[in-house]
Structure 1
Amino acid sequence: MRSGITSQGRRALGEEVRIRRADARDAKRLTRLVRTSRSYEGPYAPMVAGYRVGHDYVETHRVFAAVGETTGRLLGFYALILDPPELDLMFVADDAQGAGLGRLLIGHLKDEAHAAGLAEVRIVSHPPAEAFYMSVGARRAGTVRAAPPAVMWDRPELLLAVA
């Protein structure tokens, strides 16, 4: 999929973006993006401190990477679980946020989910990301209670219609 990033977003990123299927060679870069995300600083840090996106995870699930067209730089990624349908992971590089990349990834996710015959996708959101998911059409479905020691806070449960 070619970039749906706005011209302002392209200027911010410095290049076109394409989304491709991630492979096992991407695992270390995906892990680095998760562990260094400023969205998980402070009280959220324990959630990603030891997190690893393994080769087996990338090969087992539908993981898609947004990369710079000319540099190959990893700008973001998401993982779609088909059964049951769920957005398992979605991260955008700190310096790429605000350029429309998250919306591009969600659009791609909807296309993939639709092609797989899904009607909706569950999202258990990082609390600060809830407003973003609501802005792309997700609706609140409930709350997933904290699960110490890894997750010390309640998280919003959302549903994203595919069609």
Structure 2
Amino acid sequence: MTRQREEHTVRTVRIRAARPEEAAELSALALRSKAHWGYDEAFMAACVAELTLRPEEVEARRTVVAQAPDGRLVGLATLEGEPPRGELGLMFVAPEAMGGGVGRLLFDHVREAARAAGFTGFDWAADPNAVPFYEAMGGRRVGTVPSGSLPGRVLPLMELAL
């Protein structure tokens, strides 16, 4: 994606609080985003429960969405836990919006929301494909954690100090 297109996308997408009635759409977005990396059908089936956002969880998980000018939801993120330490629970960008700065907008929003809420930092289990993005956002790989979906799989553990 060209720098000009990325800047245009960033200027036109807005971040707002998610609504409970959007939970199913956000869960589908998370699964489409995960599938973008070429995971097979069995892998994706194993991820469904972990990537499902329920209506009653939307507010408690501090869910935000990235919304395109046409109303489409093109990303989501959750900031979970209580200060001083939180967790980036979910963060996904729709495949068609990848490379347009949406992930950066979401991550920057979560970082600022965490600061405003009194967090001193947050951590998260990262998809291995997303580690370069998270490192570019200032995240640091600090170890590994077991996958919540696939027994025996480990994921990079990332952290960000605020």
Matched residue, 2:155: 155
Is residue 10–residue 100 contact of structure 2 (8 Å, CA) maintained in 1? no
Q: Take 1:80 and 1:65, find their aligned partners in 2: how far apart are those partners?
A: 12
Q: 1:20 to 1:40 in 2, by over 3 A?
A: farther
Code of the residue aligned with 2:75 in structure 1: it is G
How many residues align? The count is 154
Q: Take 2:152 and 2:74, find their aligned partners in 1: how far apart are those partners?
A: 28
Backbone CA RMSD of aligned residues? 2.2
1:74 matches 2:73: yes
**SS, match of residue 89 in structure 2:** strand
Matched residue, 1:45: 44
Code of the residue aligned with 2:6 in structure 1: it is G
Q: 1:60 to 1:130 in 2, by over 3 A?
A: same
Q: Kindly, what percent of the aligned residue pairs are identical?
A: 32
**SS, match of residue 77 in structure 2:** strand
Q: What displacement does 1:15 show?
A: 7.5
Q: What displacement does 1:82 show?
A: 2.7
Q: Which moved more, 1:31-40 or 1:132-141?
A: 31-40
TM-score under structure 2 length normalisation: 0.84
Q: What displacement does 1:135 show?
A: 1.1
TM-score under structure 1 length normalisation: 0.84
Q: 1:17 to 1:151 in 2, by over 3 A?
A: farther
**What are the Cα deviations for residues 2-35 of structure 1, in whole angstroms up to 9, with x where unaligned?**
xxxx642255x59811000001111111011022
Alignment of 1:106-121 (within 5 A): 106-121=107-122
Name which of 13, 30, 37 aligns with 1:34. Answer: 30
Alignment of 1:52-131 (within 5 A): 52-69=52-69, 71-83=70-82, 84-131=85-132
Q: 1:41 to 1:15 in 2, by over 3 A?
A: farther
Q: Take 2:137 and 2:110, find their aligned partners in 1: how far apart are those partners?
A: 12
Is residue 140–residue 159 contact of structure 1 (8 Å, CA) maintained in 2? yes
